[in-house]
Structure 1
Amino acid sequence: MKRVQSFAYAREAKVDKLITSLSQASPKSVNLNEKIFALTDGIIGSIAFGKIYGTDQFKDQVFHNVLGEAMNMLDSLLAEDFFPRIGRIIDALTGLSDHARPKPEQEDLVDFLTRLMKDESNSFRITENCVRAMLFDAFMGGIVTTSTTILRAMSELKKNPRRPQWLGKPYEFYLERFEGSRIDFRRSNFNLLLFGVGRQI
């Protein structure tokens, strides 16, 4: 939990950057797909790999398109069939070779996995290929699926907007709103997600 909280600055900085770019673009139309993709790339890149990768290193939609095609291929067949040399790409994107250095001040996912790989006292052995596979999963799963989920949620809100006045003080931390409610907030009832149920339990 402490490790997740230690990267709060990265999440806040990327969300702030997104909000700023959206407000500056007003009243023009915005390609939300690109903005959300850059947001998730920034957050996952900062937390897992120590810096932003794809959207800054590649121009325009190139990086986004490559990840999209890779996800489509992974849905149907094994990645090894299409990416026989994926190790080099993962090394370049994640900076695996850059992490062969003394212990940094802020340890990211690559540093942690590299340390495990070098630690011979473990009962299990992590190889470089294992590290690449885990980083590939973190990169693909973290960026593509997260941005897709956010985009689908945004499109659903656009199609079916909810009126805040129906919610009753939606922007206030108001615990009493749930008194007398039949909602079981300790189970899988998602009606309370709107209010950040995790903070209110």
Structure 2
Amino acid sequence: MRKFSALHLLSPKRSRSFQPIRDEEIARMVKMIRDGAATDSNIVNLSKVLMTLISSIIFRITFGRRYDGEEDMSYKFHWLLAETQANIVSFLFADYFPLIGRLVDRLNGAWARLDKSFNETDAFYQQFIDENLHVSGASSVKDCSILDILLQMQKESSDITFDHVKAILMNVIVAATDTSVAAIVWAMTLLIKNPESMKKVQQEVRDLAQKKGFVDEDNIQKLIYLKAVVKEAMRLHPPAPLLHRETTAKCVISGYNIGAKTCVFVNSYAIGRDPECWENPDEFLPERFINSTIDFRGHDFELIPFGAGRRMCPGISMGAITTEQVLANLLYSFNWELPPGTNREDMDMDTLPGLTAHKKNHLCLVPKII
């Protein structure tokens, strides 16, 4: 199923087919900021704005429609997203004490919460599957949503069940939404704390886009310094700081005997700040990636925000271009300032615990129309 997803759902070619959705949603976000807060120099909660934006993009890519005007749908979508993440990282006694752990989990309410979350999520996906199956004249595979592609493949292969379809939908939504939001928020935070880098990247973006009014996907490939900023932000604050794998055979690492089928956690956060790999590892220096071959595509193990090897994130193409394009348009459209009474030195850099490393306190900034 992972190989199927990488080839048919999340390939670079498929990611490019979703470009109109990204362009439209990003343009809507910029207009909303310009018509609202930027006109009166009001404070914008950028963390919330970006969560709404990325959720809208992923929802449209996955299900083929927006949830505008459907408050119940929007609330349910965000509730399921938060609840799924909470269950993934929650402690269950059954994971460590199989014989009696499930009984303990039932007594303390953990199993009931997990069961409710599963049933709600299953019903949510089933609703869209049923709607899709009753729609006649489906669009071509080239232009359709991820759900359209999954259901078409399900019809053609007896090996793919509706449970497989729901599982992939969950993986796409959970993995794509929070990580992209965290990456953009951390990049903006680091740029605000480093005004020289902010000035350089804005100059690059504006010189390239000039009076177009929008930074499209074709422009992104020419923004060398912007890409360096994204890499540096992911080095310092990888959205998923802990990657877990299972050993396939017994091995010895640094004198330690590691048995087969051992769960191994790879700390990408610590690797990104290792002084043996990086000069001045705690400083934000995008210039280190200029004229450097180091990339996050999985070949350079000192920078692995998407993982590496055969089990690296299959959505890397979609995640990277979404992060870069959203960040480019925020920098192109507005000058960003801290709220009155705050300064760069006082900005907190604390991280929330969880599967995705979000900034603990929301990033609130004042946009200025250029």
Q: Which category of TM-score, normalised to the shorter sequence, fits these structures? A: 0.7 to 0.9
Q: Describe the SS at the equivalent of 1:96.
A: helix
Letter in 2 for 1:103: A
Counterpart check, 1:3 vs 2:14: yes
In structure 2, distance between residues paired with 1:45 and 1:182: 33
Letter in 2 for 1:109: I
1:12 to 17, 20, 23: 23
In structure 2, distance between residues paired with 1:36 and 1:176: 23
In structure 2, distance between residues paired with 1:10 and 1:47: 7
Structure 1 segments unaligned to the other structure (5+ residues): 197-201
**Equivalent residues, number:** 183
Q: Which moves more between the two structures, 181-190 or 126-135? A: 181-190
Q: Residue 39 of structure 1 corresponds to which residue in structure 2?
A: 53
- Cα 1:160–1:134 change in 2 (3 A) is same
1:52 to 62, 66, 69: 66
Give runs of aligned pairs for residues 21-100 of structure 1, distance below 5 A: 21-24=32-35, 25-26=37-38, 27-53=41-67, 56-58=69-71, 62-63=75-76, 64-76=78-90, 81=115, 83-85=117-119, 86-92=121-127, 95-100=128-133
Structure 1 residue 138: Cα displacement: 0.9
Q: Describe the SS at the equivalent of 1:83.
A: helix
The answer (yes or no) to whether the contact 1:164–1:170 under 8 Å persists in 2 is no
Q: Which has more helix, going by share of residues? A: 1
Q: TM-score, normalised by structure 1?
A: 0.72
In structure 2, distance between residues paired with 1:170 and 1:33: 24
In structure 2, distance between residues paired with 1:103 and 1:97: 14
**1:162-182: CA deviations, max 9, x gaps?**
3556579523458999xxx99
* Large movers: runs of 4+ above 4 Å: 77-82, 163-169, 173-177, 181-184
Counterpart check, 1:187 vs 2:301: no
In structure 2, distance between residues paired with 1:146 and 1:87: 24
- Cα 1:184–1:88 change in 2 (3 A) is same
Structure 1 residue 186: Cα displacement: 3.2
Q: Residue 116 of structure 1 corresponds to which residue in structure 2?
A: 153
Structure 1 residue 14: Cα displacement: 0.7
State the superposition RMSD in angstroms. Answer: 3.6
Q: Which moves more between the two structures, 80-89 or 7-16? A: 80-89
Structure 1 residue 185: Cα displacement: 3.7
Q: Describe the SS at the equivalent of 2:42.
A: coil
Q: Residue 199 of structure 1 corresponds to which residue in structure 2?
A: none
Q: Describe the SS at the equivalent of 1:151.
A: helix
Q: Describe the SS at the equivalent of 2:188.
A: helix
In structure 2, distance between residues paired with 1:50 and 1:98: 12
Q: Describe the SS at the equivalent of 2:196.
A: coil
Q: TM-score, normalised by structure 2?
A: 0.42
**1:77-125: CA deviations, max 9, x gaps?**
5895552313102233xx22122144324321101110111113xxx60
- Cα 1:62–1:107 change in 2 (3 A) is closer
- Cα 1:11–1:29 change in 2 (3 A) is same
Between 1 and 2, higher relative CO (CA 8 Å, sep ≥ 6) is seen in 2
In structure 2, distance between residues paired with 1:30 and 1:176: 28
Q: Residue 172 of structure 2 corresponds to which residue in structure 1?
A: 138
Query: Radius of gyration: which is bigger?
Result: 2
The answer (yes or no) to whether the contact 1:117–1:126 under 8 Å persists in 2 is yes
